[in-house]
Structures are given as structure tokens and as C-alpha cells.
Amino acid sequence: MTGGSDKYLLGTDAFGRDILSRLIYGARISLLVALLALTAGGGVGLAVGIVAGYLGGAVDSVLMRVVDAAFTFPAILFALLLAVTMGQGLGTLIIAISLLLWAASQESSGRVLSLRQRDFVALARVRGCSALRIMLTHILPNVLNTFMVLVTLNIGVVIIAEATLSFLGAGIPPPTPSWGLMISEGRGRIAMPGGGADPGIAITLMVLSVNLFGDWLRDRLDPRLRQL
């Protein structure tokens, strides 16, 4: 562009801030939110899934109905309510996404239902092991592979959720760089330097990368697929 400079490779926004630097910093924000939200929400979901799957009966029915109820509540609306009541910020964003992710415990529960019928679990019961010990030493190690794959595949979901909430004004408050906030600020000039195209491309590449990594991890951790 006339009067432009190669000092800023992707140009600057309406406030003269370097787009490339903000994209790099925004990646750190997105990955931090994904790490903390998946650790908190995924950990709770894993614990609920193991308890529900192993104990079964009324416990399984009650916990799974709570999970079903959590799935029916609109995720974006829930996050907006939290932002209104608690204010914008990184903590609010992590809490909102964590409370939505724990409901994925249905996947762990289904895996545990098949594991509790195995011979090694029956032998542990015969030896007098408590339910807690069986869940921690026999069930948990056998569901970690599935859990890690689900966590990896959900990184993209969290990144999109964080960008969506920031775009709607319920995520990271300005002036902290966030990909969703950058799209919101540049939505009126998508195709221009400093517009919303750059963070949109960054989100697409990041989600595609973590999904491909999740597929690779699933193939590596599943012995049946590794033999093909």
C-alpha cells in the first residue's frame, strides 16, 4: 500500500497495533484457556463418568440425567449470564467453558461399563479391594487413553468457544489480544489489513492442527488401529 512499511508483516489495526504480534499473543490466550478449561472440566467429567459407570444402577441414572440436563442448556447463553453476573475476564471464561465440558462424561461412562465386566476387575473384587481402589488403580488407567484423545479433539471446540464468547463481548476484555475480539474489532473491514480475516485464518489453522493431532493420537494409542 502507498506509504506502507515492511516493519509490520500483517499490517496494523485501526489503533496502529501490530497484527502479527497480537495474533501470537492471542494464540497464547486461546491455548491457556483450552488447557485450564479442559483440565478442570475434563477432570470433573472423567471422575463423574468413572463413578457412574462403575457403580451403575441409581447412581448412574441420576448422574447421567444431570449430564443430559447440562447438555440441554444453551452454552452461549450460559456463558453470557456468567459474564453479566461475574464480569468479563479470563477466570469467568474458564469457568463457563469448564462447566460445559464436564458433561462429556458420557463417553467415559460407556467405556467404564465395559471395563467393569472384565476378569481383572472381578478378581480385584474377590481379593476384597474397595470400590474406590478399583476405580483408581484398575479403571482409571484403562480409560486414560480414551480420555486423552477426547481432550485433544476438544481443544478445537474450546478455541472456537473462546473466540465466539470474546466476539460477543463475554470473553477476554480489551485491550488484551484475543482472536475472537480481533474479529469483532475488524468485522467491518474483513478483507483489509487489520481486518477480521487474519484471526479467522489463525483459528481455522489452529483447530485443523489440533484435530489432525487428535486423529494421530487416537491411532497411536489404539493397538487395533496401530496394526493396520
Answer whether residue 55 is part of any domain: yes
Grid cell at residue 26: 492471542
Q: Quick check: is 93 in a domain?
A: yes
Q: Give residue 101's domain range.
A: 19-221
Q: Classify residue 153 as left (phi > 0), alpha (psi -120 to 50) or beta.
A: alpha
Residue 12 within a domain: no
CB 179 within 8 A of CB 30: yes
5 within a domain of the structure (yes/no): no
Inside any domain, residue 133:
yes
Q: What is the pTM of this model?
A: 0.74
Own/partner long-range contacts of 194-197 (Cβ < 8 Å, ≥24 apart): 194/11, 194/12, 194/13, 194/14, 194/19
Tally of domains within the chain:
1
Mean pLDDT by 10 residues, the chain (228 residues): 67 75 86 85 82 79 77 73 76 79 65 80 83 84 79 82 80 80 73 68 86 79 57
The CATH number that applies at residue 194 is 1.10.3720.10
82 falls within a domain: yes
Q: Which pLDDT score is estimated for 227?
A: 52
What pLDDT does residue 200 have?
82
Which segments of the chain does DSSP mark as H helices, in order?
A: 19-55, 57-72, 75-86, 90-101, 105-115, 119-126, 131-134, 140-167, 179-185, 197-221, 223-226
pLDDT value of residue 203: 86
Would you give the DSSP letter of residue 104? G
Measured at the CA of 19, the angle between CA 18 and CA 20, to 5 degrees, comes to 95
* Number of CB atoms found within 10 A of residue 41's CB: 25
What's the pLDDT at 85? Answer: 80
Q: Is the dihedral of CA 92, 93, 96, 101 positive or negative?
A: negative
Bridge partners, 12 (sequence order) = 18
Is 13 inside any structural domain? Answer: no
